[in-house]
């Protein structure tokens, strides 16, 4: 019990990650609702069918929807369905599939290579993409087959509808299939105030990893194929890869509850607003620099290393970033605005 308290205490003052938050009420209620009696397993149940339907309605198109356990699997299985082992995937050098999935894309696809391109604010530079896919066209180097983008990006920035359309055209021109890592897709929709279709299939996205966990779910992401041909036998792929839940209803019922209630968007908007509040206050502090435009639910700032240390000393938790002076502050559906104010006050004190 004491241990547990300390377990909690270490989690006061927390802006380290949006996956530190728990399960929101709407997701919880949906699981409770689904936990009445028995249900067929492996997705052959009411909730799964309904969740698929709700997602089709959300995207206003007939798409193929699958549910897997986490984002690494969702991204890797989606990419494996786009590529053969001798193909390559082009993505930003800071993409999650490159930096935080321990080579899962290479593992699930049995060797598909990830080719990195730079780009400001965590967004791929299209000229760099062009250069990368033209750099080699012989069989001694993996053939570019997929383009993977992240919306919102790892740096808390967003691709605009226009930027996504340009990416879609480039991909189409070079016959590249487009994957979108949407671990924070909800934050993007809320921030851009667009219809989900505008930043997905209408912009040429073939398959989307639609994140649930960071948005208030206990577990689970949806893999949404707008290009239905690419979904062929994806159910077998999921099963073989250990990503088919037997009690699927507990992964899918929350999608119904979150989409019907609008909580998916409300949660994302709250996290975004907390980040925006934090950013606006920080911009008033001369000793602190905001590193990237804060467009989703995170703020990256730069300050003196000793000031960061002082802030840590005050019990705040956050990731430091690209070496010395940078730090990431991530807001979630569960972030307390009062905590944001406390954080700002302590940052001021720390840089003073």
Cα separation values, 119 from 79, 123, 302, 313, Å = 21, 5, 20, 34
Three-class secondary structure assignment of 108-133: HCCCCEEEEECCHHHCCCHHHHHHHH
Taking each helix axis from N to C terminus, what angle separates 263-282 and 185-192, rounded to the nearest 10 degrees?
Answer: 70
- The count of chain residues that interact with a second copy, using the rule CB under 8 A, is 82
How far apart are alpha carbons 17 and 75 in whole angstroms? Answer: 19
Site string for a second copy, 245-274 (x = CB under 8 A): xxx--xx-----------------------
How far apart are alpha carbons 327 and 164 in whole angstroms? Answer: 28
Shortest reach from residue 202's CB to a second copy, in Å: 29
Q: Which stretch binds a second copy (CB under 8 A): 26-34, 55-63, 121-129, 184-192?
A: 26-34
Q: Is 2 in the site for a second copy (CB under 8 A)?
A: no
How far apart are alpha carbons 123 and 91 in whole angstroms? Answer: 9
Shortest reach from residue 336's CB to a second copy, in Å: 10
How far apart are alpha carbons 93 and 148 in whole angstroms? Answer: 11
Which lies closer to a second copy via its Cβ, residue 86 or residue 321? 86
- Exposed, middle or buried, 297 (CB in 10 Å: 0-12/13-18/19+)? buried
Which lies closer to a second copy via its Cβ, residue 81 or residue 202? 81
Which lies closer to a second copy via its Cβ, residue 38 or residue 352? 38
Site string for a second copy, 165-204 (x = CB under 8 A): ----------------------------------------
How far apart are alpha carbons 211 and 295 in whole angstroms? Answer: 17
Q: Which stretch binds a second copy (CB under 8 A): 32-40, 157-165, 195-203, 297-305?
A: 32-40
Shortest reach from residue 140's CB to a second copy, in Å: 4
3-state secondary structure of 85: coil
3-state secondary structure of 107: helix
Q: Is 321 in the site for a second copy (CB under 8 A)?
A: no
Query: Of residues 220-239, which lie at the interface with a second copy (CB under 8 A)?
Result: 233, 235-237, 239
Cα separation values, 244 from 116, 238, 284, Å = 31, 6, 49
Q: Is 67 in the site for a second copy (CB under 8 A)?
A: no
Q: Which stretch binds a second copy (CB under 8 A): 17-25, 158-166, 169-177, 267-275?
A: 17-25
Rounded-to-10 torsion of CA 211, 215, 220, 221: -10
Query: Of residues 69-128, which lie at the interface with a second copy (CB under 8 A)?
Result: 69-73, 76-77, 84-88, 99-104, 106-108, 110-113
How far apart are alpha carbons 102 and 318 in whole angstroms? Answer: 22
Which lies closer to a second copy via its Cβ, residue 35 or residue 287? 35
Q: Is 131 in the site for a second copy (CB under 8 A)?
A: no
Shortest reach from residue 107's CB to a second copy, in Å: 4
Q: Is 26 in the site for a second copy (CB under 8 A)?
A: no
């Amino acid at each position: 019990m004491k241990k547990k308290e300390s377990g909690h205490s270490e989690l006061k003052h927390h802006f380290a990650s949006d996956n530190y938050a728990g399960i929101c009420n709407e997701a919880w209620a949906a699981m409770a609702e689904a936990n009445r009696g028995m249900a067929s397993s492996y997705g052959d149940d009411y909730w799964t069918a309904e969740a698929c339907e709700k997602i089709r309605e959300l995207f206003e198109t007939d798409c193929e929807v699958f549910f897997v356990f986490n984002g690494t699997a969702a991204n890797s299985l989606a990419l494996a369905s786009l590529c053969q082992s001798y193909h390559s995937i082009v993505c930003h050098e800071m993409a999650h599939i490159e930096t935080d999935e321990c080579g899962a894309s290479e593992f699930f696809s049995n060797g598909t290579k990830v080719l990195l391109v730079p780009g400001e604010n965590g967004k791929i530079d299209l000229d760099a993409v062009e250069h990368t896919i033209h750099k080699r066209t012989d069989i001694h180097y993996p053939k570019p087959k997929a383009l993977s983008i992240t919306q919102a990006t790892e740096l808390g920035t967003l691709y605009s509808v226009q930027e996504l359309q340009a990416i879609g055209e480039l991909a189409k021109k070079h016959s590249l299939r487009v994957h979108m890592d949407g671990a924070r897709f909800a934050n993007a929709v809320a921030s851009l105030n667009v219809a989900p279709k505008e930043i997905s299939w209408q912009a040429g996205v073939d398959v989307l990893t639609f994140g649930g966990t960071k948005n208030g779910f206990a577990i689970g992401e949806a893999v949404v194929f707008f290009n239905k041909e690419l979904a062929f036998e994806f159910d077998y792929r999921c099963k073989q890869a250990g990503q088919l839940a037997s009690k699927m209803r507990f992964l899918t019922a929350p999608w119904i509850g979150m989409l019907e209630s609008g909580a998916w968007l409300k949660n994302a908007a709250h996290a975004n607003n907390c980040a925006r509040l934090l950013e606006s206050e920080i911009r008033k502090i001369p000793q602190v620099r905001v590193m990237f435009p804060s467009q989703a639910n995170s703020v990256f700032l730069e300050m003196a290393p000793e000031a960061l240390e002082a802030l840590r000393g005050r019990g705040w938790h956050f990731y430091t970033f690209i070496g010395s002076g940078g730090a990431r502050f991530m807001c979630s559906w569960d972030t307390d605005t009062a905590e944001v104010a406390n954080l700002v006050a302590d940052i001021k004190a720390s840089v003073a």
